[in-house]
A and B are shown apart, each in its own frame.
Chain A
């Protein structure tokens, strides 16, 4: 497995894994029971997605490692998820706005990858599309509800947009290790993804009467190259606690 391919696979897996972790943190904290269960459901879909990719990375690795090893035993600098998925739940508007940005991204990413010449990526994309189509429907509907619900819900959603927008450009950045391979039919065209993503976000914001931040130039990045936010260390401390403390144990 060349480095570019490994990085590309890990971006997909780590994004799903860390986002799933954040959603799982919300378990028993939902605004009502049905929504609590829906969040867990999305977390389960994402962890399943991550697991498929980690297993494939392990399978294609020259080292004798398992999918779990890839998922749990790397240093923080080797996790390649974008900063957006690490951002804390804060409140339901933040959780759902982060989800809406990621669901939109996943929807177009997997639509593109469904015709990838990489058989693993195309199979993964076709399987995941069914799930992320539902995820996007759900999070779009929440954005529209927030914007058209009460003054408070609109305010909270707008605040979440202001805080999270700065992490959205990173979704469309290409790591140097695979940037040259974009356009060869293996990976998704990042510029095209950004255009589609922006159109969808504009459409939902229009229906929701929500707006993009005034200052859209200010953007943060680094996650894809292993430079994470301060939140990431705490996520990994919890997630890796048992595998690190008891490296010989099987669970």
Chain B
């Protein structure tokens, strides 16, 4: 017993030394249970978010207003699904199968980004999601490229490259609409009115209320706090909105200083945390719809997966 404890203590010391030295932790390396559990939760939540995120954008594919916009939207959704694949693969290196992760999602034991529980109501929402939601995601993901777990970090490097495209494409949609007709401008303003606050909520609760921040920062899974990332996003995005003529839906938004690069920083209203927790806990406008959609597609596809498995087994037995 004493020997095991001693071993664990040594292993933990080695693990922490690697973290301190910025050496990535790899799947076969020893890691504390709590570190593994944190990663299982965080990476699978991230993977589910990419996949569930296909739904609100998919809602407008058949109504995309031009061939170009339809191609861009299809390719974007395809990218998101691809991110889901990288992330499920990274999550599987922790010893849990994709099937198990999907089962946990369906059972409500795993979450996905709450922002996708809001509906997409007009074409500008596609712009707003790219610009604001992907924009918020990148702010977080750029820092996650330096996360301590190797497979997650490498997945994030690939994902960030594509997400920055998406953000620019989303901003282009908003820009075009603000340069367009009165109807288009109205749609664009309506979209930012609805998506601004959910985008800010994407960074999670205040640091003081965040259950997972402590260990995650210590083990360098997370590299910056929720509030710091949220401020970065606001500072970057408000000038972009102003450039297009869009009004950020916050009456208390005002410049309160400058950052180290001389760029303005902002004072803003607090988030409606009641709404945040309502949506996190399943009471958003589309929580039920999103999950049911995923479950239905999974159940409808069961016979196809069984067919593919049976065919593979039959082929292997013929060849074997």
Which residues of A are interface residues toward B (Cβ below 8 A)? 21, 24-25, 27-37, 40-41, 43-44, 47-48, 50-51, 54, 67-68, 71-72, 91-92, 144-146, 148-150, 152-153, 156, 235, 238-239, 241-243, 246, 248-251
Contact at B310–A249, with CB atoms within 8 Å?
A: no
Contact at A148–B314, with CB atoms within 8 Å?
A: yes
A43-B74, A47-B71, A250-B176 given; A145·B311 CB < 8 A: yes
Q: Besides A145-B308, A150-B303, A251-B180, 18 other CB < 8 A contacts?
A: A24-B70, A27-B58, A27-B74, A28-B54, A29-B293, A29-B297, A40-B77, A47-B74, A68-B66, A68-B67, A92-B300, A145-B307, A148-B314, A153-B303, A153-B307, A250-B180, A251-B66, A251-B123
Q: Which of B54, B62, B85, B311 contacts A148 (CB 8 A)?
A: B311
Contact at A71–B310, with CB atoms within 8 Å?
A: no
Which 4 residue pairs spanning A and B have beta carbons closest together?
A31-B301, A149-B307, A153-B307, A31-B304
Q: Is B184 an interface residue (CB 8 A)?
A: yes
Q: Is B61 an interface residue (CB 8 A)?
A: yes
Contact at B65–A37, with CB atoms within 8 Å?
A: no
Which residues of B are interface residues toward A (Cβ below 8 A)? 51, 54-55, 58, 61-71, 74-75, 77-78, 81-82, 84-85, 88, 123, 173, 176-177, 180-181, 183-184, 293-294, 297, 300-308, 310-311, 314
A33-B84, A67-B67, A153-B306 given; A25·B62 CB < 8 A: yes
CA distance A21 to B81 in the complex (A): 19
CA distance A92 to B65 in the complex (A): 27
Contact at B62–A31, with CB atoms within 8 Å?
A: no
Contact at B176–A27, with CB atoms within 8 Å?
A: no
Contact at B78–A41, with CB atoms within 8 Å?
A: yes
Contact at A31–B65, with CB atoms within 8 Å?
A: no
**Shortest beta-carbon distance from B103 to chain A in Å:** 14
Contact at B81–A92, with CB atoms within 8 Å?
A: no
Contact at A24–B78, with CB atoms within 8 Å?
A: no
Contact at B63–A72, with CB atoms within 8 Å?
A: no
CA distance A33 to B80 in the complex (A): 11
Contact at A31–B66, with CB atoms within 8 Å?
A: no
A24: B residues at CB distance < 8 A: 61-62, 70, 74
**Shortest beta-carbon distance from B55 to chain A in Å:** 5
Q: Which of B58, B62, B85, B303 contacts A34 (CB 8 A)?
A: B85
A47: B residues at CB distance < 8 A: 67, 70-71, 74
Residue of B nearest to A146 (CB): B307
CA distance A232 to B64 in the complex (A): 17
Contact at A150–B310, with CB atoms within 8 Å?
A: yes
B123: A residues at CB distance < 8 A: 242, 251
A153: B residues at CB distance < 8 A: 303-304, 306-307, 310
Contact at B311–A27, with CB atoms within 8 Å?
A: no
CA distance A250 to B54 in the complex (A): 25
**Shortest beta-carbon distance from B88 to chain A in Å:** 8
Contact at A242–B63, with CB atoms within 8 Å?
A: yes
CA distance A92 to B306 in the complex (A): 13
Contact at B67–A28, with CB atoms within 8 Å?
A: no
CA distance A28 to B67 in the complex (A): 20
Query: Which of A28, A34, A91 has the most CB atoms of chain B within a 10 A radius of its CB?
Result: A28
**Shortest beta-carbon distance from A148 to chain B in Å:** 6
**Shortest beta-carbon distance from A157 to chain B in Å:** 9
Contact at A44–B306, with CB atoms within 8 Å?
A: no
B88: A residues at CB distance < 8 A: 33
A31: B residues at CB distance < 8 A: 297, 300-302, 304-305
Contact at A248–B181, with CB atoms within 8 Å?
A: yes
A241-B63, A242-B123 given; A44·B74 CB < 8 A: yes
CA distance A196 to B307 in the complex (A): 29
